[in-house]
Structure formats: structure tokens, C-alpha cells
Chains A and B, each alone.
Chain A
Amino acid sequence: DTEVTQTPKHLVMGMTNKKSLKCEQHMGHRAMYWYKQKAKKPPELMFVYSYEKLSINESVPSRFSPECPNSSLLNLHLHALQPEDSALYLCASSQGALWPRVDVGYTFGSGTRLTVV
């Protein structure tokens, strides 16, 4: 299995809702990432998990809450979002920062397109 699977593919939520995005990989990767991509813009890093521990939070508002229950799963919990949070949310994985010479690439999922109404 060489894929990163993201669910759901599309999500529409109200500003008072709570929802979660899910990301799964079975490649044995130990680093997982959340990126946010607005239309016509590059992806922007949100969070990095390394060995199931949060290693980077790029000053993301607390209405976004990441969780890494195990080495294969990464969740992004959403609460009280704003319309400007509407974007494509991409999950990625890599072998892990501890093996820089082996860590050849990042595998991106197909993304969750989120619309906040």
C-alpha cells in the first residue's frame, strides 16, 4: 500500500459544527503532516507529527486541533470554523525526519475540500 487515504473527500459544515478530517497510511511512515491550500495558492504547513508526537504547530488557531492516535492515523478536529477556513486540506506522510538519507519523499493524500458556511 503506497497511498495516503483522506476522508471525507468533501465536507460542508456550519460555523457552529464540530467535525473531523481523517488521514490514514500503511507505509510505515513515522512523520505525518497537515497542509492547508486555498484556491490558486500553494499549500501551507499547519502541523507536523513525528513518531506520534506533535513537533511543529505553525501558529494554527485553536479551532483546529490535530490528533495522532497511532503511527498510521492522523486526525484534524474542527470546531467553530470561519468561512475563511474553507480550503483543501492535504495530509502527507514521510518516512521520518530521523532518517534524512532514506527519507526520499512525501506522499500526499487526495485532500478534503472543506466549505464552511
Chain B
Amino acid sequence: ELKVEQNPLFLSMQEGKNYTIYCNYSTTSDRLYWYRQDPGKSLESLFVLLSNGAVKQEGRLMASLDTKARLSTLHITAAVHDLSATYFCAPRTSGSRLTFGEGTQLTVNP
């Protein structure tokens, strides 16, 4: 059974600071997704990482994937309040299953 661990689960940071969210998973996966969820809302797709060494950037967010280490990171650069949300990683496994991590609740304070 695939286990997905995210850390930290809660992150409170100041505007302008940098931080990294980590996502470890226990079995082989062919790709990994990052999603954002605002309270009471659905999931917004941020990144899909398709191969080992993949790196994608969008604005202040950058995601990377190391399939050998079974590790993905989501790096936040110069955080702003609008980034406050819950972030989920989700490796894909057989049958197109997405297994979500517990989520990282990010709060960016002025």
C-alpha cells in the first residue's frame, strides 16, 4: 500500500520568506502531482512532474521530483499572503490512482 508523507503539516511563515514542503512516498510512482486547496473549495492543479529530475516553476512556487529517493519538494520563494492554502502532493500509481498526502496547511502572515 502506498504511503505518502508530507511535512510539515502546518506551516506559518512571514511574507517575504522562503520555505520548502517535502513529500515522501513509499512505492514506485510514474508521476507526481501538486494541488492547492482553499478552504471549502475544490482542488486546483499546480504541477505535474513526469520524470526523475523534473523541475517546474510557476510564480513563487517551484516543484521538483526525485523518483529514486521517492521525494518531491515544493519550494516557496518570497511568500505572499495569497499563497495561504492547503497544499497536497499526490503520486500516481496503478489504475491511475492518486494517493494524496495529508496536506500542508500554509499560513503566510504579513
**B96 — nearest CB in chain A belongs to which residue?**
A97
Chain B, range 59-105, C-beta contacts under 8 Å to A: 88, 95-103
- In the complex, the answer to whether B42 meets A48 with C-beta atoms within 8 Å is no
Docked pose: A97 CA to B40 CA in angstroms: 29
- In the complex, chain B residues whose CB is within 8 Å of the CB of A110: 41-42
- In the complex, the answer to whether B33 meets A106 with C-beta atoms within 8 Å is yes
- In the complex, the answer to whether B88 meets A42 with C-beta atoms within 8 Å is yes
Residue B54 lies at the interface, judged by CB distance under 8 Å to chain A: no
- In the complex, chain B residues whose CB is within 8 Å of the CB of A90: 42-43
Residue B21 lies at the interface, judged by CB distance under 8 Å to chain A: no
**A106 and B95 in contact, given A42-B88, A42-B102 (Cβ under 8 angstroms):** no
Interface residues on B, range: 10 to 19
Docked pose: A45 CA to B101 CA in angstroms: 12
- In the complex, the answer to whether A97 meets B100 with C-beta atoms within 8 Å is no
How many chain A residues touch B (Cβ–Cβ < 8 Å)? 25
- In the complex, chain A residues whose CB is within 8 Å of the CB of B48: 104-105
Residue A17 lies at the interface, judged by CB distance under 8 Å to chain B: no
- In the complex, the answer to whether B96 meets A43 with C-beta atoms within 8 Å is no
Q: What is the distance, in angstroms, from B89's C-beta to the closest C-beta of chain A?
A: 10
**A97 and B42 in contact, given A42-B100, A105-B33, A106-B33 (Cβ under 8 angstroms):** no
**B4 — nearest CB in chain A belongs to which residue?**
A42
List the interface of chain B (C-beta within 8 A of A).
30, 33, 35, 40-43, 45, 48, 88, 95-103
Can you list 20 A-B contacts with CB-CB less than 8 angstroms, sorted by A residue number? A31-B96, A33-B96, A33-B98, A42-B101, A42-B102, A43-B88, A43-B98, A45-B99, A50-B96, A55-B95, A56-B95, A90-B43, A103-B96, A104-B48, A105-B48, A106-B33, A106-B98, A110-B41, A110-B42, A113-B40
